[in-house]
Structure 1
Amino acid sequence: MRPSVIKLERLLLLSVGFAGLLFIIYHGENEPPTLDKEQPSLPIPSRLTVAPNKFEKIEWLPGCQENKSMESIHGFLKLPAHIQDFLRYRHCKSFPQILNSPKKCGGAAASRNVVLLLAIKSSPGNYERRAIIRQTWGEETSYKGAQVKRIFLSGTAKNEREDQRFKWLLKIESQKYGDILQWDFHDTFYNLTLKQFLFHEWLDEYCPGANFIFNGDDDVFVNTFNVVAYVRGHEADKHLFVGQLIANVGPIREPGSKYYVPVQVTASDSYPMYCGGGGILMSKYTAHVIYNKSQDIQLFPIDDVYLGMCLKKAGLVPASHMAMSTVGVHVPSDKMDSFNPCYYRELLMVHRFIPYEMLVMWNAIRDPHLNCGHKVFVYLGA
């Protein structure tokens, strides 16, 4: 075969191959997708790609829409971040419950046998306080025939890593003691009112018959013997709401204060009478009245003031009890020890104690050899 013929054949084969390649490329671009082909996926937002403030809001308020109209309020953008968040979400009153104790009172019908329910507000990380309370004044037992039950009220930690650890911790406590109520909202000072509202909702469903409720913080000392003796002289179906009475006060307008409440939250310069939230004792009747009235009252960032608002709307008033103090015990002389068990043996509640003090005082007031023969004078504060 001559060289010219070979070159012609090679040129012809090259042309056919190039035409086939063009056909494949053209056909592939217009071919409809099939199930066998991998489709491009949209990027999934992660904590690394979402702005931290937006992600926090979504997790903090699941299922609740932000009220952006609040931003049109005069001076809103100059308010501290926690107050801005409160205003954006103050309409939110429904949150998923992470841990429940539906049989705490034996069911709705049997709950009438509970003479005293101790409802204690406790942040997720306060394990030591809860542990000591279980051993001391919060022990679930019978005081001369009066059944006492205990429940802790908690939210979630703001720090994501800590939150997961504390959820594990609370789950362990719940499985062992059955005394944890936890909701999916951040456990912060401004959310104490939300915690209070959700507790009354739980009470209405799972423990409506509990005769009396002590509602307080996890750093108070309660003389449960005296509280039971006190409620024995009252009727659960009548109004009772006692503590350390606070009257003739109004919002603190100083931005640096823990209790700062700006005019954007309330324009009123006065609060209704209320009892300090460290420890309050109420009857079944009053607890349910508070829940009913709270349905129509906006959340307020100070929880004890909010309870006072609910009472006022119901036409009820809080009362003072000289044996309940949220500011500790004051003795008339520096030479006297304010930790003397003789002062506490006659009281109902004192705020505040650290864990080891609770244990020491609880054992001291139960000591049959405690000598309190001489008179002592105690000032509980205004």
Structure 2
Amino acid sequence: MLILRRSSREKGRVFHQSAQEMSDGKKLRKWSNGTYRSRCLFFPLALLAVVLFFYNITVENSDGRARLWKQYDAKKWWHGQESSSQGKEIDRTTTASAIVWETQSSPYFVAYPSEYRFIINEPQKCEEEKPFVVLMVPVAPSSRRRRDVIRRTWGGQREVLGKRVTVFFLLGLHTGEPVEQLEEKLQQESKEHQDLIQSNFMDCYNNLTIKSMVMLEWLDSYCSGIPYAMKVDSDIYLNLQNLITMLLNAPETNYMTGHVAKGAEVFRDPNSKWYLPANIYPKPFYPSYVLGLGYVLSLDLPKKLLEASRHVKAIYIEDVYLGLCIEYLGITPMDPPDWNYFHFVPVPYDRCAYSELVATTLDEDTNLEWVWKDLQREGKVC
């Protein structure tokens, strides 16, 4: 039995599997009740089946990772369908970096690289609009209100300081009910705004690594000819004028910036949301990486990061994983020109403070539309 646990508000990508074990033994034939021979054979065979069942559980529990590699076809499982061909080896050509480990309660599985496809797409928009920067906003499929708020605030700006800006919302598959009605609404929303990109992975917190890598696949396929992109979370205030000003003086290759974490310690407590076992990542500290609230990159990097992902074990902490891929490439993320540009702790609203930053997370009770209107009004800012 597979269970998908939906996350609370946080930065979206992994399935949880129940601890219930499944026997690999063949099903016994249906026995006839009318023959003495059938009765004689049934009890020894039933006893043997029980012994083999518990032996199978014991062996498989000695190595949970081997068990999962054995029991599931990754591509079928990852699209929400239990494999009908248990015992079959995973296709390692499409899941070269897939990794499995267990916490106290359940195993995790990150299937990337894999064969994801886009079911809602805007393949020509970058070519048609030729933006200076593309803003990629990961958001849950059901969060229409949040998308509309962004469209009415910072996401509604099309030209800043003479530079074209294009915004896309990146979605996976809805994990709740009713799915069909929501998909119809998404199709209608896509026709109305032409800014949705949807792929066929399950959209949940522990699948954020998949979501980020699918984003890079899309940028490499459809926007490789433009200078910059920024991944920005949906609970962010973004100051586009300061972003464009920063990018006008930024490197054009091997460039990644945001709030750079340096010397971050690996969490070894199994109860932590960011727990990572030593057998998956043995080093006590992570390499430098850019926090996932919002990071900027030159668009030569998506292709390089996708190639690196085939050599770096996938983990569910998406910003750390990109840091591992950057490290593999021998590239170091750059600090922004001003330490005050990126804030992962919400900055209390103040016109002067918000005029000087690039991005800050927002408290849940912050009214972004009110903040936006206040920032647009005339008068002294600082």
TM-score, normalised with respect to structure 2:
0.70
Among candidates 102, 120, 136, match of residue 99 of structure 1: 120
Matches within 5 A, 1:114-153: 114-153=131-170
Name the residue aligned to 1:369.
379
Deviation at 1:96, TM superposition (A): 3.0
The answer for unaligned runs of 5 or more in structure 1 is 1-53, 330-337, 373-382
SS at match of 2:286: coil
SS at match of 1:339: coil
- Return the letter of the residue paired with 2:183: K
Superimposed CA distance per residue, residues 234-269 of structure 1 (whole angstroms, 9 cap, x where no aligned partner)? 242x23211111121233222222212233533333
- Aligned residues of 2:77 and 2:83 also touching (Cα < 8 A): no
Give the whole-Å Cα distance in 1 for the aligned partners of 2:244 and 2:77. 43
Among candidates 367, 374, 380, match of residue 357 of structure 1: 367
- Return the letter of the residue paired with 1:327: V
Name the residue aligned to 1:265.
280
The structure with the largest alpha-carbon Rg is 1
Structure 2 residue 318 is the aligned partner of structure 1 residue 300: no
Structure 2 residue 186 is the aligned partner of structure 1 residue 170: yes
SS at match of 2:271: coil
Deviation at 1:356, TM superposition (A): 5.8
Among candidates 105, 113, 116, match of residue 80 of structure 1: 105
The answer for unaligned runs of 5 or more in structure 2 is 1-71, 91-99
Deviation at 1:184, TM superposition (A): 1.5
- Aligned residues of 2:343 and 2:359 also touching (Cα < 8 A): yes
Closer, same or farther in 2 for the Cα pair 1:78/1:116, shift >3 Å? closer
- Aligned residues of 1:119 and 1:152 also touching (Cα < 8 A): yes
SS at match of 2:122: coil
Give the whole-Å Cα distance in 2 for the aligned partners of 1:347 and 1:131. 23
Deviation at 1:166, TM superposition (A): 2.8
Closer, same or farther in 2 for the Cα pair 1:80/1:162, shift >3 Å? farther
- Aligned residues of 1:220 and 1:353 also touching (Cα < 8 A): no
- Aligned residues of 1:97 and 1:182 also touching (Cα < 8 A): yes
Deviation at 1:170, TM superposition (A): 1.9
Closer, same or farther in 2 for the Cα pair 1:353/1:359, shift >3 Å? farther
- Return the letter of the residue paired with 1:90: A
Closer, same or farther in 2 for the Cα pair 1:76/1:145, shift >3 Å? closer
Structure 2 residue 85 is the aligned partner of structure 1 residue 60: no
Deviation at 1:62, TM superposition (A): 8.9
Among candidates 342, 347, 356, match of residue 346 of structure 1: 356
Closer, same or farther in 2 for the Cα pair 1:61/1:297, shift >3 Å? farther
Deviation at 1:191, TM superposition (A): 0.8
- Return the letter of the residue paired with 2:144: Y
- Return the letter of the residue paired with 2:164: Q
Name the residue aligned to 2:344.
326
Name the residue aligned to 2:236.
220
Closer, same or farther in 2 for the Cα pair 1:363/1:57, shift >3 Å? same
SS at match of 2:296: strand
- Aligned residues of 2:157 and 2:165 also touching (Cα < 8 A): yes
Deviation at 1:364, TM superposition (A): 2.0
Deviation at 1:92, TM superposition (A): 4.9
Deviation at 1:352, TM superposition (A): 2.6
- Return the letter of the residue paired with 1:95: Y
Matches within 5 A, 1:176-215: 176-215=192-231
TM-score, normalised with respect to structure 1:
0.70
Deviation at 1:85, TM superposition (A): 4.2
Closer, same or farther in 2 for the Cα pair 1:162/1:269, shift >3 Å? farther
- Aligned residues of 2:112 and 2:210 also touching (Cα < 8 A): no
- Aligned residues of 2:351 and 2:381 also touching (Cα < 8 A): no
Which shows bigger deviation, 265-274 or 143-152? Answer: 265-274
SS at match of 2:126: coil
- Aligned residues of 1:120 and 1:152 also touching (Cα < 8 A): yes
Deviation at 1:148, TM superposition (A): 0.4
- Aligned residues of 1:214 and 1:282 also touching (Cα < 8 A): yes
How big is the alpha-carbon RMSD for the aligned residues of Structure 1 and Structure 2?
3.0
